[in-house]
């Protein structure tokens, strides 16, 4: 998938002044105050560069390593193998990366992360999801919607021409999707494919999500 013109604004650092959220993330990644300051200086340095790979090439080896630390990458950054999205997100502050090509994944460096709620989801659904998941651990949140992109692409790798993002359409019907999931949960429980405990846990969550979407 190509990067849309609407997303081109994110191809270089969109946040040069670090937020408390970004700073907290970097501190959790064991970055020193000096390293955090260096990363902020890097964002300011490349802010006017419209080619993210060129911006990364302009950095010193030490600066590239600070970028690696900021995004908690295990391996050194290899600019030549990066996609535009992967390069661009390295030049965004942690917590403010973007799914630029609307494939349902956020590419940071060479790594891909599932993005949910999707970047193009309506603000109303994002708010409802935040309300429904408030106070829950990842273990307590049903994964039907979170892993839909992966389940739609079994046997495919990101970049495959047949890659599918079920949430790609801006007018995707989230209410209908939740209703379909609840029907599936009912079916699985009624046919002894799901325990009572799991059934109650799933239905409680999706009822709360449905109420929050109203």
Does 20 score more than 80 pLDDT?
yes
> How confident is the model over 116-144, as a mean pLDDT?
96
> How confident is the model over 41-52, as a mean pLDDT?
91
Peptide bond into 117 cis (omega under 30): yes
**Which value, to the nearest 10 degrees, does the dihedral of the CA atoms of residues 63, 64, 68, 69 take?**
-20
Average pLDDT, the chain: 92
pLDDT tens per residue, range 152-207? 999 999 999 999 999 999 999 999 999 999 999 999 999 999 999 999 999 999 99
pLDDT tens per residue, range 23-36? 999 999 999 999 99
* Cα–Cα distances in angstroms (integers) from residue 114 to residues 108, 138, 174, 206, in the given order: 11, 14, 17, 20
Confidence bin at 148 (pLDDT 50/70/90): very high
State residue 150's pLDDT score. Answer: 95
Give the start-to-end residue ranges of the domains of the chain: 5-109, 123-213
pLDDT tens per residue, range 65-95? 999 999 999 999 999 999 999 999 999 999 9
HEC string of 86-104 equals: HHHHHCCCCCCCCCCCCCC
d(CA 202, CA 178): 11
State residue 58's pLDDT score. Answer: 96
Neighbours of 94 (CB within 10 A): 23
Does 17 score more than 80 pLDDT?
no
Cα of first residue to Cα of last residue in the chain, in angstroms, is: 33
State residue 50's pLDDT score. Answer: 87
Does 63 score more than 70 pLDDT?
yes
Q: What are the φ/ψ torsions at residue 134 (nearest 5 degrees)?
A: -60, 125
Q: Which long-range contacts (CB under 8 A, 24 or more apart) does 124-132 make?
A: 124/213, 125/174, 125/213, 127/212, 128/209, 128/212, 128/213, 129/209, 129/212, 131/208, 131/212, 132/205, 132/208, 132/209, 132/212
Confidence bin at 14 (pLDDT 50/70/90): very low
Confidence bin at 3 (pLDDT 50/70/90): very low
Task: Tell which residue, 105, 7, 28, 102, has the closest CA to residue 70.
Answer: 28
What is the residue whose two structure tokens read 């990366």? 97
Three-state secondary-structure class, residue 206 = helix
Give 124 or 12, the one with higher predicted confidence: 124
d(CA 75, CA 9): 27
Q: Which tokens belong to 181? A: 């999931």
The pTM score is 0.84
d(CA 66, CA 80): 18
């Amino acid at each position: 998938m190509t990067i849309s013109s609407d997303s081109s604004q994110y191809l270089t650092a969109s946040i040069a002044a670090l937020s408390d959220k970004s700073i907290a993330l970097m501190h959790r990644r064991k970055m020193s105050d000096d390293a955090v300051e260096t990363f902020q200086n890097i964002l300011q340095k490349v802010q006017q560069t419209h080619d993210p790979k060129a911006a990364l090439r302009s950095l010193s080896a030490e600066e590239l390593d600070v970028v690696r630390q900021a995004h908690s990458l295990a391996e050194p950054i290899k600019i030549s193998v990066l996609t535009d999205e992967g390069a661009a997100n390295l030049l965004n502050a942690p917590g403010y990366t973007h799914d630029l090509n609307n494939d349902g994944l956020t590419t940071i460096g060479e790594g891909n992360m599932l993005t949910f709620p999707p970047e193009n989801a309506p603000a109303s659904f994002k708010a409802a999801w935040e309300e429904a998941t408030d106070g829950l651990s990842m273990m307590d949140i049903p994964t039907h919607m979170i892993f839909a992109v992966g389940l739609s692409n079994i046997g495919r790798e990101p970049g495959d021409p047949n890659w599918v993002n079920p949430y790609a359409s801006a007018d995707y019907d989230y209410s209908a999707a939740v209703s379909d999931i609840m029907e599936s949960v009912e079916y699985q429980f009624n046919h002894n494919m799901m325990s009572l405990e799991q059934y109650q846990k799933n239905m409680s969550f999706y009822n709360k999500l449905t109420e929050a979407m109203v």
